[in-house]
Amino acid sequence: MLSRRLIDVEAGCLTRAADVELQQRAPEALTSIHALGDGRLLAVATLASLLQAGPHAQLADVCDRDPVRASADTDVVDVAVLMSDYNLLLIPAETSAVT
């Protein structure tokens, strides 16, 4: 993930754990939670879906499992188009290497 403003948690956590992460971050990061597994983006949950699910739901149950994303080499114009088309404030960008 390239942006430090993205909030990421392990994909198998409860929504309560994601909520704790949300409370500890800056306001500009409060749009979504990015579920990771082995350092890779697996899914994204919006703040609205987390609030609607309740604190004991599995994060995986409220996530979009095919989120909009970019790669590290995606052209900036293409990223802007994706963000505009999907009304995104942030977009996850993945590198091909897993660290």
Domain ranges for the chain: 7-94
Q: How far are the Cα atoms of 36, 52, 54, 96 from residue 3, in angstroms, in the given order?
A: 14, 26, 27, 15
Residue 59 predicted with pLDDT over 60: yes
Choice among 26-30, 55-59, 80-84, 93-97 with the minimum mean pLDDT: 26-30
pLDDT of residue 28: 52
| Of the candidates 18, 5, 7, the residue with the CA atom closest to the CA atom of residue 59 | 18
Domain 7-94 CATH superfamily: CBS-domain (3.10.580.10)
Q: Is the dihedral of CA 23, 29, 30, 36 positive or negative?
A: negative
Q: Is the pTM of this model over 0.75?
A: no
pLDDT tens column, 61-98: 888 999 898 988 899 999 999 999 988 888 888 776 54
pLDDT of residue 78: 94
> Quick one: DSSP state of residue 24?
T
pLDDT of residue 27: 57
pLDDT tens column, 31-53: 788 788 887 888 888 888 888 88
Give the separation between CA 11 and CA 31, rounded to whole angstroms.
17
Q: Is 14 helix (H, G, I), strand (E, B) or coil?
A: strand
CA atoms within 13 A on the CB side of 51: 8
